[in-house]
A and B are shown apart, each in its own frame.
Chain A
Amino acid sequence: MSQSVKFLTPLALFLALVVLLFYGLGTDPRKVPSPLIGKPAPEFVLPVLGEPQRTVSNQALLGQVSLVNVWASWCVSCRAEHAELMRLAREEKDIQIFGLNWKDEAPDALRMLRQTGNPYVVSAYDPDNQVGIHFGVYGAPETFVVDQQGIIRHKHIGPIDRRAWEETLRPLVQQIKAES
Chain B
Amino acid sequence: MSKKRWLPAAVLAGLVAASPVGAFTLEEYTFDDPARAADFRKLIEELRCLVCQNESLAASQAGLAKDLRDEVYRMLQEGKSREEIVTFLVARYGDFVLFAPPVKPSTYPLWFGPLLIGGVGAFFLARVLLRKKESTEAELSAEERERLQALLAAESGDGKPTQPRHKERA
Contact = CB atoms under 8 A, between A and B. Distances in A.
Interface string B27-53: 000000000000000000000001101
Contacts of A114: none
A114 B67 CA distance: 29
Nearest to A42: B92
B94 A33 contact: yes
B33 to A, nearest CB: 24
Interface string B69-96: 0010000000000000000001111111
Contacts of B64: 129, 138-139
- Chain A interface helix/strand/loop/mixed: loop
Given A29-B53, A32-B50, A133 B67 contact: yes
A79 interface: no
Interface string A32-43: 111110000000
A103 B93 CA distance: 18
Nearest to A135: B92
B89 to A, nearest CB: 9
Interface of A: 29-30, 32-36, 103, 128-129, 132-136, 138-139
